[in-house]
Amino acid sequence: MNRGLNRDKLVAALSGALPPVLARDLVEEFLTLRRDVATGTLGGSAPGKIVETLVQVLQWLDTGKYDSKPPIDDFLRTLESKATPLDDGLRICAARIGRAMYSLRNKRSIAHKGQIDSNVYDLRFLHAAAQWLLTELIRLTNKISMQEAGRLIDQVQTPVGGLVEDFGGRRIV
């Protein structure tokens, strides 16, 4: 039975394979994105920060170190053709998902002015992509039991219910 996402357990699980600061950053940005999906708030979360942290995570898992300001697009674009110990789920899939998230951030008036305004569908995609990324990282963590990993994955994958009820001209949280 899912009783909501346990921030501390998720950070602790990810910290088994990642520097705690990266685990914390990833979880905090995911929770902000999740809250925005629940409330239908556009422009509150920063998907670019999730992708930047993803790149730092991939750098860490690949080399044991990471850049404080990584070359996001270049790193993600070249990762899949690079010789690396990363498994294909991270090397190919996570890199492509990260690039898709970063493209929306850059091209849909999320971080910069663009020709197309961001919308709730962009927000939902970004959340689903972030769910997949977190799930993949939990799957690769070997510092927790399979049962605990399964519980955390279930929490991350739980669909977001709306927190805002719209009654025409009146919205209630």
List pLDDT tens digits, range 4-14: 678 999 999 99
Cα–Cα distance list, 123 to 18, 30, 39, 41, 59 (Å)? 26, 12, 11, 9, 26
Question: What's the one-letter identity of residue 49?
Answer: K
**Which pLDDT belongs to residue 108?**
59
Residue with tokens 């991270």: 90
Reported as a single tens digit per residue, the pLDDT across 103-143 is 876 665 544 444 445 577 888 899 999 999 999 999 887 78
The residue ranking higher by pLDDT, 166 or 101, is 101
Mean pLDDT of the chain: 84
pLDDT for position 140:
84
Rg (CA), the chain: 16
Encode 32-55: b = buried (16+ Cβ within 10 Å), e = exposed.
bbbebbeeeeeeebbbbbbbbbbb
